[in-house]
Amino acid sequence: MHPTIISLSRDAAHNFSKPPVDQLTLLAGLGIEGDAHAGRTVQHRYDKWKNPAAPNLRQVHLMHAELFDELAEKGFAVAPGQLGENITTRGLDLLGLSRGTRLRLGGEALIEITGLRSPCIQINGLADGLMAATLDKAPDGSLIRKSGVMAVVVTSGDVWVGDTITLASVPMEFEALGVV
């Protein structure tokens, strides 16, 4: 199975969940047209409060549908867009990618992975205990964040549900994803 986009979501307001759409327009250096997090500088409310001039490393939020499968096994029913992601994927180990990995979405759009999304307590607004279910512990005791990755848009393009995802390039040296 080729990595595929199974759902797309956006919201012009800063709501936690985003409604599904059939198509997104990605804009180089900005993010997703019509989404509250689009912009050259940080748009996330808390990060903007800390440093409004910081570059926006969170233009696009990708989530792997395999997390929804894992959450369902724990008794949580979560649908695409409910955790605030823009692009829901299947068949791609997002959390295992290196910082700087570039992904082609469909035929035109190119994004670059910047880091992990750190889950916030708002996730528990969907269901008690959901935030803890998106976290795990590594054998060394370090925290594993499973709530997706963040990216910036390198090349503009339209993206549709059902589009394939291809690995465009990877950095010469692997760099583990940190929280952005």
Taking the C-alpha atoms of residue 38 and residue 56, their distance in angstroms, rounded to an integer, is 8
User: How much is the pLDDT for 49?
Assistant: 86
User: How much is the pLDDT for 64?
Assistant: 98
- Answer whether residue 83 is part of any domain: yes
b/e per residue, 85-120, with b = 16+ CB within 10 A? bbbbbbebebbebebbbbbbbbeebbbbbbbbbebe
Domain count of the chain? 1
User: How much is the pLDDT for 46?
Assistant: 81
User: How much is the pLDDT for 1?
Assistant: 72
For 114, the domain range is 4-169
Exposed, middle or buried by CB within 10 Å (0-12, 13-18, 19+), for 45?
exposed
User: How much is the pLDDT for 36?
Assistant: 96
User: How much is the pLDDT for 163?
Assistant: 98
Taking the C-alpha atoms of residue 131 and residue 177, their distance in angstroms, rounded to an integer, is 19
b/e per residue, 66-82, with b = 16+ CB within 10 A? bbbebbeeeebebebbb
User: How much is the pLDDT for 155?
Assistant: 98
- Answer whether residue 154 is part of any domain: yes
pLDDT tens digit at each of 180 positions of the chain: 799 999 999 999 999 999 999 999 999 999 999 999 999 999 988 888 889 899 999 999 999 999 999 999 999 999 999 999 999 999 999 999 999 999 999 999 999 999 999 888 889 999 999 999 999 999 999 999 999 999 999 999 999 999 999 999 999 999 999 999
- Answer whether residue 175 is part of any domain: no
CATH of the domain at 61: 2.40.33.20
